[in-house]
Amino acid sequence: MTIKRALISVSDKTNLIPFAQKLTDMEIELISTGGTSKALAEAGIPHRQVEELTGLSEMLGGRVKTLHPKIHGGILGRRDTQAEEAARHDIPWIDMVVVNFYPFTSAVTSDMPMDEAVEYIDIGGPTMVRAAAKNLAWVTVITDPADYQLVASILEKDKGLGFDLRKQLAEKAFALTSHYDAMVQRYFLETASDPVNGSFQTVQLKKAMDLRYGENPHQRAAAYQLSHANNGILSSTQHQGKPLSYNNLLDADAALKTIQEFEQPACVIVKHANPCGVAVSDTIDSAYLKAYEADSLSAFGGIIALNRECTKTIAEAVASIFMEIIIAPSFTKEALETLSAKPNLRVLSIENNQQSDWEMRFITGGVLMQERDTQRIREADLKVVTTLEPDQTAIQDMLFAWQVLKHIKSNGILIAKDSMTIGMGAGQVSRVDAVDIAIRKAGGKIQGTVLASDAFFPFRDSIDRLAGTGIRAIIQPGGSVRDEEVITACNEHGIAMVFTGKRCFRH
């Protein structure tokens, strides 16, 4: 299609002037509005203002500029059957629409008053874009400055634009209007008292990267980031190492979610989306050493997450073993130099690891949405149910164990001591099997430990397994019809037990 007239109204003026100049050089008439018109005038680019075409100046505080039959008729009219009607109403055809929108998300925050926020909702822009995209048979719509050069080069060569390109640009335009509406809806949901009650939940994603393959080499995969997100693993800075894989991303995300539980210096090591070593300490160096020693066998080839700057000491330790990824808020210069000796090791810094208040999980044909599990069990929440009461050291270890337990697959059992994981039984179909695995993983370090269970014990058999192991206290939700049997078993074996009244499943 030959382009004779173009309407330009853009908020993002990147590369506007060079593109407009090229259109003018090709004798394409330009029509413009407001700030775009001012920019064109300052650059000496001839154009007509929209009000010259409509005969009306903008009104209602700028809310109405382009909402006029001469604009939308010129965009929407069918060139094959409606030319005579358009001429009767003195409507000139508009062959190209170059529009992008007010930056709603950068201008509006969830705490902004509603009457102020709605003024940033663009009406005229999306309306023109949708009209032009609908009429792709005759009209070209451009919403991304990155497309200016391509369009200009084709126009200079062919004097027109083919249908395939117009279709591609129309698809991009509808993606933009959909994304824009979703951003506005997101603002309304965030300001609602209960976001999960929204009739519709719109998830807008942008491709972050193509992946070599998925969970297995025969599966294709890609990573997409929430379009409004600036946190998490997809917002990290990668200093070195191979590209992240599908499984890397899942494991790294699990590590980030776990490390966020702690304010003290902490280290988390993850394998197959489950923590295998977690520890807190007075220093980050000590926390790393404890987490690694918790299960050095399982840590091989794992993902390390720190909640403090990575030091040279940690870097030297990591460089001496095989690990897939190390994540920290930052790295000292010396740490980065040391880690560079392992060029395949992925080194990631993440400044913003703030988690969303809500989480979604895809199932076949739908999505499950729930509040993120942010519950914190504190000493005052614990109910001692056995004759033997746990001492303060055991209580602190139980509270630490509970924070980690939230992040291993249920049924989950975790054994801990001195703010360090000792053994875990994760993702078992039987709680007694999970207990057996955790005991075996703890090995000779089990003496004086505590045990955490993410749900109640349905029978006393799990407690009987603990007799003589050296486990001295148990933390669990309680709530079983056989709680009294379980409590009796603890009393018989000299094990203290506390109830939280809450479980912490992670399916």
The count of C-alpha atoms lying within 13 angstroms of the C-alpha of 241, restricted to the half-sphere facing its C-beta, is: 22
Those residues with Cβ within 8 angstroms of residue 467's Cβ, 6 or more apart along the chain or in another chain: 493
Q: What is the pLDDT of residues 444-457, one digit of tens each?
A: 999 999 999 999 99
**Verdict on whether the full-model pTM lies above 0.85:** no
Question: Does the pLDDT at position 371 exceed 90?
Answer: no
Instruction: Give 497's DSSP letter.
Output: E
| 231: confidence class by pLDDT, cuts 50, 70, 90 | confident
Give the pLDDT score at 192. 64
Angstrom distance (rounded) from CA 164 to CA 144: 17
Average pLDDT over residues 280-305: 96
Give the pLDDT score at 45. 87
185 or 104: whose pLDDT is higher?
A: 185
Q: What is the pLDDT of residues 124-143, one digit of tens each?
A: 888 889 999 999 988 999 99
Give the pLDDT score at 195. 58
Give the pLDDT score at 125. 83
Location of structure tokens 């003589």:
468
Angstrom distance (rounded) from CA 404 to CA 13: 49
| Phi/psi of residue 385, nearest 5 degrees | -115, -5
Task: Write the class of the CATH domain 5-190.
Answer: alpha beta
Question: Does the pLDDT at position 356 exceed 80?
Answer: no
Question: Does the pLDDT at position 309 exceed 70?
Answer: yes
| Phi/psi of residue 426, nearest 5 degrees | -115, 145
Which position among 13, 22, 272, 445 bears the catalytic label?
A: 272
Give the pLDDT score at 263. 94
Domains 205-349 and 379-499 share a fold: yes
Q: What is the dihedral of CA 422, 426, 431, 436, to 10 degrees?
A: -50
Highest mean pLDDT among 88-92, 197-201, 346-350: 346-350
Q: Is 70 a catalytic residue?
A: no
Which position among 22, 134, 239, 242 bears the catalytic label?
A: 134
Question: Does the pLDDT at position 202 exceed 90?
Answer: no
Highest mean pLDDT among 107-116, 182-191, 406-415: 406-415
Angstrom distance (rounded) from CA 8 to CA 28: 12
Give the pLDDT score at 62. 65
Average pLDDT over residues 202-224: 90
Angstrom distance (rounded) from CA 3 to CA 10: 19
Fold category of 379-499 in CATH:
Cytidine Deaminase; domain 2 (3.40.140)
Q: Where are the beta strands (DSSP E) in 116-169?
A: 140-142
How much of the chain exceeds pLDDT 70, in percent?
A: 94
Q: What is the pLDDT of residues 157-187, one digit of tens each?
A: 887 788 889 999 999 999 888 888 887 777 7
Angstrom distance (rounded) from CA 328 to CA 252: 11
First-to-last CA distance in the chain?
55
Smallest CA-to-CA distance from 7 within 121, 70, 97, 134 is with 97
Average pLDDT over residues 142-157: 89
Q: Is 13 a catalytic residue?
A: no
How long, in residues, is the chain?
A: 507
Residue 412: Cβ within 10 Å count: 26
Smallest CA-to-CA distance from 455 within 402, 407, 487, 411 is with 411
- Output b/e per residue, 383-410; b: 16+ Cβ within 10 A: eebbeeebeeebbbbbbbbbbbbbbbbb
Residue 83 amino acid letter: A
Give the pLDDT score at 156. 83
Give the pLDDT score at 79. 84
Give the pLDDT score at 220. 96
Q: From the centroid of its chain, how far is CA 403?
A: 22
Give the pLDDT score at 200. 65
Where do the structural domains in the chain lie, given as residue ranges? Answer: 5-190, 205-349, 379-499
Q: Per CATH, is 205-349 categorized as 3.30.930.10?
A: no
Question: Does the pLDDT at position 55 exceed 90?
Answer: no
β pairing state of 205-211 and 221-226: antiparallel
| Phi/psi of residue 248, nearest 5 degrees | -55, -45
Average pLDDT over residues 262-267: 96
Give the pLDDT score at 197. 62
Instruction: Give 195's DSSP letter.
Output: G
Q: Is 113 exposed, middle or buried (0-12, 13-18, 19+ CB in 10 A)?
A: exposed
Q: Where are the beta strands (DSSP E) in 212-302?
A: 221-226, 237-240, 266-271, 274-280
Give the pLDDT score at 102. 76
